[in-house]
C-alpha cells in the first residue's frame, strides 16, 4: 500500500496510507483528539476532516481550544440552526449564517419568529445533534449550484456573484446549504447551544432589499461552558449601560433623534472628568488642541478619498448652491489647519489633538446604546513627523495609552500590529518596510507583547490597535495608531526640510478611547455604574435623619462643594432606611448620615457605597480622605 507523509506543528513527520483523511490522522494520534477535532489546517488553509490529505503537506488539527476551531464550530452551529428551521418551517428561505463576536446568527426570509418558535427550533436542533448527521462537502460549477438552490433566490444571487465554482454541504440526506466551509465532523459534536435573541435585518444590509428574520445563538462543546457563558450574559444584563444610564440619569435616546445620544447633567459631569484627565495628559506632552468645523465642502471629501469609501455613511446638505458634508472623520480638517501656514522641520514632531464630534449614518438595526451611535466624539490626534522621528513618537504614544487605560482600571490590554496588505496599498514598499520596522522595533524595545497581523494594515499605512478587556473578560478595540502615507499627499501637506526643499510629512492618526461615547458605555458596564470617586457624578449624599437637621445638612453640602466635591442633600421626607437604600441604588460613593450628635459635634457618620461603615468623621477629615482618593484616582475595591 502506498504511503503519504505529513508534517505536524512540532516539525515531526507522520506517515499514513495514501488517501488518509484528517480524521485518520487524528485517530492515529489519539482517540481523544479524534473525538474533539473540528477541522484541519493544511498548508495554511482550513479544510474538512473527511477530505483526503496530500503528500508532503504541513498540517494542524484544530479543536475548540483554537480560535479557528471555535469559528468552525459556531459556523457549523449556524448550519444546524438553519436545518432545524427549514425542517419546522419549510417555507423559510435560509440566506446567510456567519459567526459573530457574540456567537452566530442565521438570516431567514420568513414572517417574524416568536419566542415560542425558538423553543421549538432548539428542540429540533437537539434531535439533529442526537442523529450525529455527517457534514459532507461537494464542489460544483456555477450552473449546477444554481440548479441545486433553484428554489432559493438569495442563494442564487450569491452564486451569481462568485467568480469561480461553488461548494455546498449536506447534513444527512435532505438538507443542503451553500458554503465555503469547513465544518465539524457531524452534528453530534454541537452538543451545547442556546438561541439567544431575535432581530430583523435587511438582505445584504441595504434598506432597499427585503427584510429578513435573524436568529442569534451561542454554542459550546460542553454544557458547563454554555452555563458559564449564560451566567455571564445574565451579569451583562445587570450591567447594561442603557439601563444604568437611565437609572443614574446620565443620558437618554429620544425618538426625535434615533442613534443620537442626549447627555444629561450627570452624564456631562462624567464626560468632563474624563476629558479633563485626557486634556491634562495631552498638555503635559505638548499637544496643541484644535477644533474644526462639523461640516465642510463636499469637494474636500472627494480630494481626501473619503467620499469614494464613505459616502454611504455620510450626511450631505447644500449651502449657497454648493454641496457640503457633515464630517465622518476629523483628519481632513486637521490637515487644513496644518496647511494654514508653512512648517519647518524644526517644528516637527507637531502634535495636534482634537475632540471632534463626527457623524456617521448607521442602519437602525445595528444601533445599540452608546456602543453604536450616529454621533460620537473621537479623541483624535494627528502627529506630523519625519520618518526618523517615528520611533520616539510611537514610544511616547504607547506610554500615554498605557497610563490612560491603567487610570480607568484596564490592565489587560492586547496589542496587534498590522502590516502592508499584499495587493491594495499606496506608497513605496521601502517606505512601508521602514515604518513597520519602526513600529515593531518600538514594541519590542519596550518589551510589549503583541500579535502580528501580516497584510492586515490599512491601504495607507501600517497600524497598531489596542484591545482592552473589561471585568467580564469581553474584549473591546478602542485605541489605534495608524501611519498614513496617503492623506498628506492628497491634501498637499508639506514641511521645509534641512535642504530647504518641501517634503510631505508622515502623518500619524492616533486615538486612545476611539469614541468617547462608546468608552463611557464600556466604563459603565465595567463598573456597573459604581464609578471611582474621581469620575462619579455624585460623590457624596448628605442624609439628615429628620427635617430638624436640614439646615446643618445644607451647611455640610456647602463645605463639601467649596472643597470641590460633588455633593447633594437628600431633603425628602423619607425614612433614613429608604434614603440609604436609594443612595446605594443611585451608586453614590459616600452616604453621610447626620443627626443630633453630628450636628452638635460638626461631624458626619460615613457609609460607603458597599454599605461599609467608616464611623464618625469631621467634615474636614472626610474632605481630606476624598481629596487623596481623587488625586490618586483610586479604583473601587470589593464592589
Give yes or no for a contact between 292 and 353, defined as CB atoms under 8 angstroms apart. no
Q: Which of 79, 176, 241, 360 is catalytic?
A: 360
Residues in the chain: 639
Taking residue 316's Cβ as centre, other Cβ atoms within 10 Å add up to 13
All 3 cell numbers of residue 12?
515531526
| Catalytic annotation present for 79 | no
What are 592's strand-pairing partners? 542, 606
| Catalytic annotation present for 601 | no
**Torsion angle defined by CA atoms of residues 304, 305, 306 and 307, in that order, rounded to the nearest 10 degrees:** 110
User: Within 13 Å, how many C-alpha atoms sit on residue 289's CB side?
Assistant: 14
Q: Which of 213, 378, 389, 591 is catalytic?
A: 378
Handedness of CA 523, 527, 530, 533 (dihedral sign): negative
All 3 cell numbers of residue 375?
454621533
Handedness of CA 43, 48, 54, 59 (dihedral sign): positive
| Catalytic annotation present for 68 | no
Q: Which of 331, 385, 478, 626 is catalytic?
A: 331
Q: Which of 463, 518, 587, 607 is catalytic?
A: 463
| SS3 call for 123 | helix
Rounded Cα distance, 177 and 197, in Å: 23
| Catalytic annotation present for 50 | no
Q: Roughly what angle, to the nearest 10 degrees, separates helices 265-284 and 390-407?
A: 150
Handedness of CA 496, 498, 503, 504 (dihedral sign): negative
Short-list 595, 471, 615, 606, CA closest to 539: 606
Rounded Cα distance, 552 and 601, in Å: 11
Rounded Cα distance, 476 and 515, in Å: 12
Rounded Cα distance, 89 and 98, in Å: 21
Give yes or no for a contact between 198 and 211, defined as CB atoms under 8 angstroms apart. no
Give yes or no for a contact between 6 and 14, defined as CB atoms under 8 angstroms apart. yes
Give yes or no for a contact between 555 and 585, defined as CB atoms under 8 angstroms apart. no
Q: Which of 117, 379, 380, 570 is catalytic?
A: 380
Q: Which of 382, 510, 568, 587 is catalytic?
A: 382
Handedness of CA 614, 617, 621, 626 (dihedral sign): positive
Q: Cα 518 from chain centroid?
A: 9
| Catalytic annotation present for 609 | no
What are 270's strand-pairing partners? none
Q: Which residue has the cell 490590554?
A: 413
**Torsion angle defined by CA atoms of residues 470, 474, 478 and 481, in that order, rounded to the nearest 10 degrees:** 110
| Catalytic annotation present for 382 | yes
- Total H helices, total E strands in the chain: 20, 33
* CB-neighbour burial class of residue 74 (10 A; exposed 0-12, middle 13-18, buried 19+): buried
Going by the DSSP 8-state scheme, the letter that residue 105 receives in this structure is E
User: Within 13 Å, how many C-alpha atoms sit on residue 182's CB side?
Assistant: 24
Rounded Cα distance, 273 and 409, in Å: 15
| Catalytic annotation present for 331 | yes
Rounded Cα distance, 34 and 607, in Å: 58
Short-list 186, 510, 190, CA closest to 356: 510
All 3 cell numbers of residue 406?
491603567
Enzyme catalytic residues: 331, 360, 378, 380, 382, 463, 509
Amino acid at each position: 500500500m502506498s504511503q503519504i507523509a505529513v508534517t505536524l506543528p512540532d516539525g515531526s513527520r507522520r506517515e499514513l496510507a495514501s488517501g488518509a483523511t484528517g480524521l485518520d490522522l487524528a485517530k492515529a494520534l489519539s482517540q481523544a483528539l479524534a473525538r474533539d477535532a473540528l477541522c484541519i489546517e493544511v498548508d495554511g488553509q482550513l479544510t474538512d476532516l473527511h477530505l483526503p490529505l496530500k503528500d508532503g503537506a504541513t498540517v494542524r488539527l484544530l479543536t475548540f481550544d483554537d480560535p479557528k476551531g471555535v469559528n468552525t464550530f459556531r459556523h457549523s452551529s449556524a448550519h444546524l440552526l438553519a436545518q432545524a428551521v427549514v425542517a419546522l418551517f419549510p417555507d423559510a428561505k435560509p440566506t446567510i449564517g456567519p459567526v459573530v463576536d457574540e456567537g452566530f446568527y442565521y438570516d431567514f426570509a420568513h414572517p417574524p419568529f416568536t419566542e415560542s418558535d425558538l423553543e421549538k427550533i432548539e428542540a429540533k436542533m437537539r434531535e439533529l445533534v442526537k442523529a450525529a448527521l455527517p457534514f459532507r462537502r461537494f464542489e460544483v460549477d456555477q450552473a449546477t449550484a444554481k440548479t441545486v438552490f433553484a428554489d432559493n433566490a438569495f442563494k442564487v444571487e450569491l452564486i451569481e456573484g462568485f467568480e469561480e465554482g461553488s461548494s455546498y454541504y449536506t447534513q444527512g440526506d435532505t438538507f443542503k446549504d451553500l458554503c465555503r466551509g469547513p465544518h465539524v465532523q457531524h452534528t453530534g459534536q454541537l452538543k451545547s447551544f442556546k438561541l439567544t435573541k431575535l432581530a430583523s435585518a435587511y438582505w445584504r444590509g441595504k434598506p432597499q432589499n427585503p427584510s429578513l428574520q435573524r436568529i442569534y445563538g451561542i454554542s459550546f462543546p460542553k454544557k458547563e461552558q454554555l452555563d458559564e457563558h449564560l451566567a455571564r450574559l445574565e451579569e451583562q444584563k445587570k450591567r447594561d449601560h442603557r439601563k444604568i444610564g437611565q437609572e443614574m440619569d446620565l443620558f437618554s435616546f429620544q425618538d426625535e433623534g434615533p442613534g443620537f445620544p442626549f447627555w444629561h447633567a450627570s452624564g456631562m459631569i462624567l464626560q468632563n472628568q474624563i476629558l479633563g484627565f485626557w486634556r491634562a495628559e495631552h498638555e503635559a506632552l505638548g499637544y496643541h488642541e484644535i477644533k474644526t468645523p462639523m461640516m465642510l465642502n463636499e469637494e474636500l471629501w472627494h480630494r481626501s478619498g473619503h467620499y469614494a469609501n464613505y459616502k454611504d455613511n455620510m450626511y450631505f446638505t447644500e449651502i449657497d448652491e454648493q454641496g457640503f458634508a457633515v464630517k465622518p472623520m476629523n483628519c481632513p480638517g486637521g490637515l487644513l489647519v496644518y496647511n494654514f501656514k508653512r512648517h519647518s522641520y524644526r517644528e516637527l514632531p507637531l502634535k495636534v489633538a482634537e475632540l471632534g464630534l463626527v457623524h456617521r449614518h448607521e442602519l437602525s438595526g445595528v444601533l445599540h446604546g452608546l456602543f453604536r451611535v450616529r454621533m460620537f466624539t473621537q479623541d483624535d490626534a494627528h502627529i506630523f513627523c519625519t520618518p526618523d522621528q517615528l520611533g520616539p513618537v510611537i514610544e511616547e504614544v504607547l506610554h500615554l495609552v498605557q497610563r490612560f487605560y491603567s487610570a480607568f482600571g484596564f490592565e489587560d490590554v492586547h496589542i496587534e500590529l498590522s502590516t502592508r496588505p499584499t495587493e491594495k496599498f499606496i506608497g513605496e514598499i521601502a517606505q512601508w518596510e521602514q515604518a513597520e520596522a519602526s513600529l515593531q522595533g518600538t514594541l519590542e524595545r519596550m518589551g510589549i507583547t503583541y500579535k502580528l497581523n501580516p497584510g492586515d494594515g490599512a491601504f495607507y499605512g501600517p497600524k497598531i490597535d489596542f484591545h482592552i478587556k473589561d471585568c467580564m473578560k469581553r474584549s473591546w478595540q478602542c485605541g489605534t495608531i495608524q501611519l498614513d502615507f496617503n492623506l498628506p499627499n492628497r491634501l498637499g501637506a508639506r514641511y521645509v526640510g534641512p535642504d530647504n526643499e518641501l517634503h510631505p510629512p508622515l502623518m500619524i492618526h492616533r486615538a486612545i478611547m476611539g469614541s468617547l461615547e462608546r468608552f463611557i458605555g464600556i466604563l459603565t458596564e465595567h463598573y456597573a455604574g459604581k464609578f471611582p470617586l474621581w469620575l462619579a457624578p455624585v460623590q457624596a449624599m448628605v442624609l439628615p435623619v429628620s427635617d430638624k437637621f436640614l439646615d446643618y445638612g445644607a451647611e455640610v453640602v456647602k463645605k463639601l462643594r467649596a472643597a470641590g466635591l460633588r455633593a447633594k442633600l437628600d431633603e425628602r421626607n423619607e425614612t433614613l432606611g429608604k434614603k440609604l437604600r436609594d443612595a446605594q441604588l443611585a451608586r453614590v460613593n459616600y452616604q453621610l448620615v447626620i443627626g443630633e450628635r453630628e450636628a452638635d459635634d460638626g461631624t458626619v457618620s460615613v457609609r460607603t457605597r458597599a454599605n461599609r461603615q467608616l464611623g464618625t468623621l469631621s467634615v474636614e477629615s472626610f474632605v481630606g480622605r476624598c481629596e487623596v482618593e481623587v488625586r490618586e484616582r483610586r479604583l473601587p475595591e470589593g464592589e
